[in-house]
Structures are given as structure tokens and as C-alpha cells.
Chains A and B, each alone.
Chain A
Amino acid sequence: MKAQSAFSVKIDVNAAVADVRDQLSGCDPIVVLYFASPVYPPERIAAAMAAAFPAAQTFGCSTAGEIVTGRMLTHSVGAMAFGSEAITSAKVEVITDLDHPGYDAFASFERHFGVSMAEMDPSRYVGLILIDGLSRKEELVVDRIGDLTNVNFIGGSAGDDLRFAASHVFANGASHGGAAVLALLEPAVPFSFIKTQSFTPLPRTLTVTRANEPCREVLEFDHKPAAVAYAEALGVPLEEAGAHFLSNPLGILFEGEPFVRSPQRVDGGTMSFYCSVKEGMELSLLQSSDIIADTRRDLESAITEFGKPSVIINFNCILRTLELREKGLTEEYGRLFADVQTVGFSTYGEQFIGHLNQTATMLLLY
């Protein structure tokens, strides 16, 4: 068995897990990845999923909405069971000290796979990262991982249905807050990545001249109060700037590809972002485009290049999900993944090479 997805919308946690287990009863998974609405008590769903699949490593996180084959859901648990035809070997580790991430987990990976992380072949191994979406530590953790290895880690920040109270990651029966789960996989099949965002760069840049980086705040663009410069760049009154955040975020451009930094709010002249923005960075103003069309295009491009995937793990920004909900497009978005075993969730941030906003990052197994 390569992989099989399942989901349940049953309200009771034990009933939901039993429902998922029953749907996967023909599977013999070595790894079960799951994403659970915060309607399920985190400790109980983590324990129940581990108990339901005792022969598998189980891990996942809480969400702001779930994605499974052909569907976008809420108040559900979605899961993917991976068999040995999909994954040869896997090791799951938890980082509980997000201020000092990396070494212990990486030492464990090196013992398990018998090769140093610095020497590990990124075409043979791939990492998944799930991290507390309220920790504000994503950049620290992702940068650290990127410093230590060429293996790509892709993932998302755990959510809590926009309550912004507590998000959780799960690993092998336990739930953790203020933590990250790293899973290092040796897939048995080829794999690739999609990083898709629906924005076009506009011919206007803003350079960060003063920032409070740990707080993800930009005080000044081009030596002006950040919000004033942003509003001027858009050509709108300052008081209307906030209404443009979703459709006109900023992005770091590399070879024409935006790495989106989404504004969160204005406080005086200061702009807060959903991810770190550093002094000296040149950011391009972006204009939103069509999420459905752009995602379809990027999926088709991957299929053209690598063939049809058998599995997709989709980390889809909650801001994209909110736009899809507002426009009544969640069913259409779900249908983009109707022909492929899919699991994913609506995230509080996405990870691929760095920490991103308003993006979907996907791991595709073939």
C-alpha cells in the first residue's frame, strides 16, 4: 500500500478516531499523518490516534480547517496512512525548546538513518515540519534547520480555528504546545514540491529601513513611517491601507518568485506582519490573482514535469482559505485534489526554505 486518506466529522473524539481507523482498516501503515480541528481536545486526539495505529508512527497538529482528498473541511480530523510502498523509513522528533532548535532532533535523525544531516542527500530524504502557529518562532526554527542541512523541510504552522488561543502539535500519542514536530522521511518513491501563491509583483518596492525583527514589526519603509509609505505606494489614503492587506501584501522576490510577507495590522505608523521582515530587505508590492487558477496551473505544471502524484500533503494558508470561503470557492479548491490521495490543513504560516505567508506549500509523492 502506498497511501490512503480518510476523514471524520464525528464530534466525539473517540468516535472520530474510530471512524478514521475503520476507513483505513485495510491499510498497514508505518506512518499516519493527521490534522485535527481544535474541537477535539488535543491530548485526547493525540492519544487516541496513537492507540488506533499502534504499529505506526503518528504525528500531526491542530488546524484552522482540514483538507482531504477532494474536500476542504471544518471541525473534522483528516488523516493519511502511509505504507511501506510510499515511505521506506521515517523518524519523528519533537522540539520543545523553540529558542534552541535542531541539535537533539538532528542527532536522532542521524542515528536513525546513519548519515549526518550535513551530508544527507536532499533527493533521497525529505522533512516535514509542524510548528505551534502562535509561537512566532517559525523563522528561528526553519532558518536553523536550513543552516544545518540541505534536506528540504516543508510544512505548516498549527492553527486553532482563528481563536488565537492555543495551537498544538502531536507526536506518537502526546500533544505539545510551544513546540515543533519534525519528521524525516525516506520516501520509497520520487517526490517534488509545490510552492504556490496567487500574486503578481507590482513595479513598486519598499525597503525596510527600521524594524523590530523579533516582534515582526516594520517601523519604517524608505525612512518613512511604514504604514504611510505602504499607503503611498498603493496610492490610497492611510486610513484605507489595512483594507488592502489581503490583496496587496509584500514579497521578497527571487528570480521573479515572491516569498510573501503578509501585513497583519497597523499600529500608529508601524506595520505588524505574520512573519519576520528584516532591515535592509527590499520588498515588492504584490497584487492578488486567482487562487483556483494559479493552484491548478502549478499542479498541472508539476504533473507535466514529474507525472501524476499518488499523494499530496497540502499546507494551505488560512488567509487563502478565508478568501476561498468568502468567495464560495472551497469546494472548487477541494476538487483540485479529487484525483490524488490528499491530506492537509489551513495553516497559520507555511514553511518551505523559509517561513511564508499567503502561500500553499505541498509535498508530492509519485
Chain B
Amino acid sequence: MAGQAKKLIDAIIEQRAKGSKVLEGVVKTKLILKGIDPKNFTETTPDDPAVIGRLHELMAELR
């Protein structure tokens, strides 16, 4: 499997930024400071269970 992290990252950014470019930058910065750099994840990036787990936790936290 590949690309799941990118899908989750995109979903988190969309969910948090709600269309605001400013908030989009803030959310990306928060992810980078957590060690998850969105630009390093593409549709072909192999799924890393540790990263996927952290992103699922973040998604749940934001609900």
C-alpha cells in the first residue's frame, strides 16, 4: 500500500484550514514541527504504520 499518508495529510489540512490559505500554512507548519513534512509525502510514498498511526491520532483529535 502507498499514498495513505498523503491522503490523511491532505484531509487534516482541509479539515483544519477550512479553505483559509493562512490557516493552511499554519497547519503545514504544525505538521513539519511534529516531524511530518507534507512535501515529503506523495501518492507513491510507501505507507509507514508509525506515520499513519500518528496522522490518525491527529485526525481524531481534531474532531
Among A58-66, A251-259, A306-314, the one that faces the other chain is: A251-259
**What's the least CB distance linking B18 to chain A, in Å?**
9
Q: Is the CB of B23 within 8 A of A150?
A: yes
**What's the least CB distance linking A57 to chain B, in Å?**
27
Instruction: Give the residues in chain A near B30, CB-CB below 8 Å.
Output: 143, 146-147, 353-354
Q: Is the CB of B61 within 8 A of A354?
A: no
- Given contacts A279-B35, A280-B35, A354-B33, is CB(A255)–CB(B25) below 8 Å? yes
- Given contacts A122-B23, A150-B16, A259-B29, is CB(A143)–CB(B34) below 8 Å? yes
Q: Give chain B's interface residue range (CB within 8 Å of chain A).
A: 10 to 19
Instruction: Give the residues in chain B near A148, CB-CB below 8 Å.
Output: 61-62
Q: Does B2 contact A (CB under 8 A)?
A: no
Q: Give chain A's interface residue range (CB within 8 Å of chain B).
A: 20 to 34
Q: Does A296 contact B (CB under 8 A)?
A: no
Q: Does B6 contact A (CB under 8 A)?
A: no
CB-nearest residue of chain B relative to A122? B23
- Given contacts A147-B61, A147-B62, A150-B16, is CB(A259)–CB(B33) below 8 Å? yes
Interface of B is mostly: helix
A217 CA to B21 CA, complexed, in Å: 34
A113-128 Cβ-contact flags toward B at 8 Å (1 or 0):
0000010001000000
A91-118 Cβ-contact flags toward B at 8 Å (1 or 0):
0000000000000000000000000001
Residue among B26, B29, B37 making CB contact with A150, cutoff 8 Å: B26
- Could you tell me which residues of chain B, from 23 to 43, have a CB within 8 Å of some CB in chain A? 23, 25-26, 28-30, 32-35, 37
A118 CA to B61 CA, complexed, in Å: 10
Instruction: Give the residues in chain B near A255, CB-CB below 8 Å.
Output: 25
**What's the least CB distance linking A36 to chain B, in Å?**
30
**What's the least CB distance linking A304 to chain B, in Å?**
18
Instruction: Give the residues in chain B near A147, CB-CB below 8 Å.
Output: 30, 58, 61-62
A139 CA to B61 CA, complexed, in Å: 17
Q: Does A215 contact B (CB under 8 A)?
A: no
